[in-house]
């Protein structure tokens, strides 16, 4: 396995500046260089470590956690211990590759800092079970006939029920799994991988269970500690914190809204839609549907008036029924900091962009924002793709960034002499010139004929374009194999005009190479979270 660091043209101006150390007034720590200072700040505070350990142990054992994970949880009892944390939604088969890339980043950073700081540093992966956008997690992509194929699970999603509480139809998911595997070639790893996934599936009640059990099965030796943010046991740990959020809600909401406005006015993209009266808390009704609450004077009101609560009602719920409340994207980071002695948070570009709006919110509840570290961004290049790149004389870094659509078309047009697009372009230009006297005559005869002459020219041009497309289609048929090679390269390295890690599931890679190549990455010394992107040659 070889790795190569490359620079991408980052369209997110904020992230480019953040990586260059220019946005630090929106954060409490620099991302890479202040872990020792952070340790001193974290260990000066107290945490409900015993309760947290008990909750995490019960939760992870229910997901068939390996002993390495249980051992890591036990280390949280040590007052010197800290955690590196990051998270993602519970996507099917772990979701897109960036979920695994983030997990690798968390484990690597924890191992690295444990050695440097000489104290326990525990890797924690936060499963966003509170989320209810099932459409984001209900599919994976595979390749079929040199095209991307979306495998979407056709399951009924009850309105606004969090994923943690969404019943999973095992029969439907089993059928879906079979269709996903049908698009992959059989390898020495296929049967074992399929059996492992099936075992995790058949012992799971929810999509979070399925996600967690598969992570533990795929990474049994890394000591990864999982937590479901939507679990009622976790929310019972938040009783005091919910009350703190409720009492400081107006200040928190105002600070986030003002910071988002400031960032946007400076031209930065912030993936947060906030209003001054947002409470950043959800209420769960009797059917466990999440209702986003707004603040109207002294009332906490459902977005569509589904519920009306007083501040006293909210405080009473926090004290007696905390499972009736849950956090949104703004207050979840605060909860994370309240529960864990966090050395660092590992996030993607989008997460870092909205965390920039949260510094004052942390301070409102007397917390500090942990160092926010960009996760590893990786593109995996197989042997076959590498051979295709050499055949078509393409650089992987160019394809990753720009794709091959333009290169493919230029290559195709160059296969004919003279070039087809040049010939048709010349003909269209000549028609423009030759048709001009006809339009002039028509204009002199009648204004109506002038319009008719213009339509006549457009009709001729339309037919020329039609003929060009037919000629191009026939040329493409004559060069089918090279064009398929271009398409295969593009699907592998620039799918849907974006990064591989945002589209591809880990499934095809594990099927071809086994899970060990992910474990190798965890221990590969030359990988650095400071680098923007890596090509990993498998």
pLDDT tens column, 86-107 = 999 989 999 999 999 999 999 9
The pair of structure tokens assigned to 21 is 């150390």
Angle between helices 239-247 and 311-320 (to 10 degrees): 170
Cα–Cα distance for residue pair 107/111, rounded to 1 Å: 6
The residue among 433 and 293 whose pLDDT is bigger is 293
Cα–Cα distance for residue pair 119/303, rounded to 1 Å: 46
Q: What is the pLDDT of residue 418?
A: 61
Cα–Cα distance for residue pair 255/388, rounded to 1 Å: 52
Map residue 529 onto helix, strand or coil: coil
- Tally the residues of the chain: 538
CB 13 within 8 A of CB 352: no
List Cβ neighbours of 102 (8 Å cut-off, separation of 6 or more): 86, 87, 88, 125, 346, 347, 348, 375, 376
Q: ω before 418 within 30° of 0 (cis)?
A: yes
Q: What is the pLDDT of residue 92?
A: 92
Cα–Cα distance for residue pair 176/189, rounded to 1 Å: 20
Cα–Cα distance for residue pair 298/301, rounded to 1 Å: 10
Residue with tokens 């996903």: 180
Buried b (16+ CB within 10 A) or exposed e, 298-325: eebbbeeeeeebeeeebeebbeeebbbb
Which pTM value belongs to this model?
0.87
- Alpha-carbon distances of 16 from 11, 19, 216, 497, rounded to whole Å: 8, 5, 34, 20
Beta strands in 243-341 (DSSP E): 278-284, 290-296, 299-302, 308-310, 325-327
Question: Hey, CA dihedral for 100, 105, 106, 110, is it positive or negative?
Answer: positive
Instruction: Work out the pLDDT band at 391, boundaries 50, 70, 90.
Output: very high
Task: Give the 3-state secondary structure percentages of the chain, helix then strand then coil, rounded to 5.
Answer: 55, 15, 30
Least confident of 154-168, 217-231, 335-349: 154-168
Cα–Cα distance for residue pair 77/343, rounded to 1 Å: 16
Instruction: Work out the pLDDT band at 159, boundaries 50, 70, 90.
Output: low
The residue among 195 and 449 whose pLDDT is bigger is 195
- The DSSP element (H or E) to which 370 belongs, if any, is none
Residue 376 backbone dihedrals phi, psi, to 5 degrees? -65, 135
Q: Name beta bridge partners: 123.
A: 84
Cα–Cα distance for residue pair 115/352, rounded to 1 Å: 26
Query: Is residue 484 scored above 60 in pLDDT?
Result: yes
Percent of the chain with pLDDT over 90: 68
Cα–Cα distance for residue pair 292/376, rounded to 1 Å: 33
Q: What is the pLDDT of residue 315?
A: 96
Tell me the mean pLDDT in the region 121-126.
Answer: 97
Q: What is the pLDDT of residue 158?
A: 56
Instruction: Work out the pLDDT band at 138, boundaries 50, 70, 90.
Output: confident
Beta strands in 47-171 (DSSP E): 82-88, 121-127, 139-144, 147-152
Residue with tokens 């043209």: 9
Q: What is the pLDDT of residue 340?
A: 97
Instruction: Work out the pLDDT band at 184, boundaries 50, 70, 90.
Output: confident
Map residue 439 onto helix, strand or coil: helix
Tell me the mean pLDDT in the region 62-85.
Answer: 97
Percent of the chain with pLDDT over 70: 97
- Per residue in 318-334, pLDDT tens? 999 999 999 999 999 99
- The DSSP element (H or E) to which 526 belongs, if any, is none
CB 111 within 8 A of CB 385: no
Dihedral-angle region of residue 345 (phi above 0 means left; psi in -120 to 50 means alpha; beta otherwise): beta
Instruction: Work out the pLDDT band at 204, boundaries 50, 70, 90.
Output: very high
Pairing of strands 342-347, 82-88: parallel
Q: What one-character DSSP code corresponds to residue 290?
A: E
- Per residue in 285-309, pLDDT tens? 888 888 999 999 889 999 888 899 9
433 half-sphere exposure, CB direction, 13 A CA radius: 6
- Per residue in 505-521, pLDDT tens? 999 999 999 988 888 88
List Cβ neighbours of 166 (8 Å cut-off, separation of 6 or more): 134, 157, 158, 206, 207
Least confident of 52-56, 303-307, 418-422: 418-422
Q: What is the pLDDT of residue 339?
A: 96
Q: What one-character DSSP code corresponds to residue 23?
A: -
How high is the mean pLDDT of the chain? 91
Neighbours of 431 (CB within 10 A): 14
The pair of structure tokens assigned to 513 is 């190479």
Residue 66 backbone dihedrals phi, psi, to 5 degrees? -70, 165
List Cβ neighbours of 294 (8 Å cut-off, separation of 6 or more): 275, 277, 278, 279, 300, 301, 302, 303
Nearest Cα residue to 371 out of 83, 44, 101: 83
Pairing of strands 147-152, 139-144: antiparallel
- Alpha-carbon distances of 106 from 114, 128, 135, 344, 348, rounded to whole Å: 12, 16, 26, 9, 12
């Amino acid at each position: 396995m070889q790795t190569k660091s490359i620079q991408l043209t980052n369209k997110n101006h904020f992230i480019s500046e953040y990586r260059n150390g220019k946005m630090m007034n929106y954060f409490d720590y620099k991302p890479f260089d202040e872990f020792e200072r952070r340790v001193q700040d974290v260990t000066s505070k107290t945490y409900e470590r015993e309760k947290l350990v008990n909750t995490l142990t019960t939760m992870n054992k229910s997901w068939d956690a390996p002993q390495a994970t249980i051992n890591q949880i036990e280390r949280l009892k040590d007052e010197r211990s800290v955690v590196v944390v990051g998270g993602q939604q519970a996507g099917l088969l772990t979701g897109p590759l960036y979920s695994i890339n983030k997990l690798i980043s968390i484990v690597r950073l924890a191992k690295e800092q444990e050695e440097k700081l000489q104290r326990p540093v525990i890797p924690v992966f936060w499963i966003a079970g509170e989320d209810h956008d099932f459409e984001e997690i209900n599919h994976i992509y595979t390749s079929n006939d040199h095209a991307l194929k979306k495998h979407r699970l056709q399951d009924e999603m009850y309105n606004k029920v969090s994923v943690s509480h969404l019943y999973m139809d095992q029969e439907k998911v089993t059928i879906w799994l079979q269709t996903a595997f049908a698009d992959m070639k059989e390898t020495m790893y296929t049967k074992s991988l399929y059996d492992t996934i099936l075992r995790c599936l058949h012992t799971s009640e929810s999509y979070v269970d399925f996600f967690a059990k598969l992570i533990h099965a795929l990474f049994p030796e890394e000591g990864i500690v999982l937590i479901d943010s939507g679990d009622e046991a976790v929310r019972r740990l938040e009783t005091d914190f919910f009350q703190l959020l409720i009492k400081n809600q107006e200040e928190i909401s105002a600070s986030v809204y003002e910071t988002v406005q400031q960032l946007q006015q400076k031209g930065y993209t912030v993936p947060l839609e906030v209003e001054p009266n947002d409470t950043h808390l959800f209420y769960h009704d009797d059917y466990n549907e999440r209702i986003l609450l707004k603040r109207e004077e002294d009332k906490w009101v459902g977005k569509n008036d589904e519920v009306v609560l007083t501040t006293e009602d909210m405080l009473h719920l926090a004290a007696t029924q905390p499972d009736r409340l849950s956090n949104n994207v703004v207050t979840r980071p605060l909860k994370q900091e309240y529960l864990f002695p966090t050395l660092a948070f590992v996030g993607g570009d989008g997460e870092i962009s909205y965390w920039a709006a949260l510094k004052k919110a942390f301070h409102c509840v007397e917390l500090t924002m942990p160092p926010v570290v960009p996760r590893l961004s990786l593109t995996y290049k197989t042997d076959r793709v590498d051979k295709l790149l050499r055949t078509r004389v393409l650089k992987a870094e160019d394809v990753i960034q720009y794709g091959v659509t333009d290169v493919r078309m230029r290559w195709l047009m160059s296969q004919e002499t003279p070039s087809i697009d040049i010939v048709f372009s010349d003909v269209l230009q000549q028609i423009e010139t030759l048709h001009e006297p006809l339009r002039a005559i028509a204009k002199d005869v009648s204004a109506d004929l002038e319009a008719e002459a213009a339509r006549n020219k457009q009709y001729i041009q339309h037919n020329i374009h039609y003929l060009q497309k037919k000629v191009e289609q026939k040329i493409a048929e004559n060069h089918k194999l090279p064009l398929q090679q271009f398409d295969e390269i593009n699907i592998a390295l620039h799918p849907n005009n974006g990064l591989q890690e945002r589209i591809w599931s880990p499934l095809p890679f594990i099927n071809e190479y086994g899970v060990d190549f992910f474990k190798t990455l965890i221990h590969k010394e030359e990988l650095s979270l400071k680098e923007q992107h890596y090509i990993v040659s498998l």
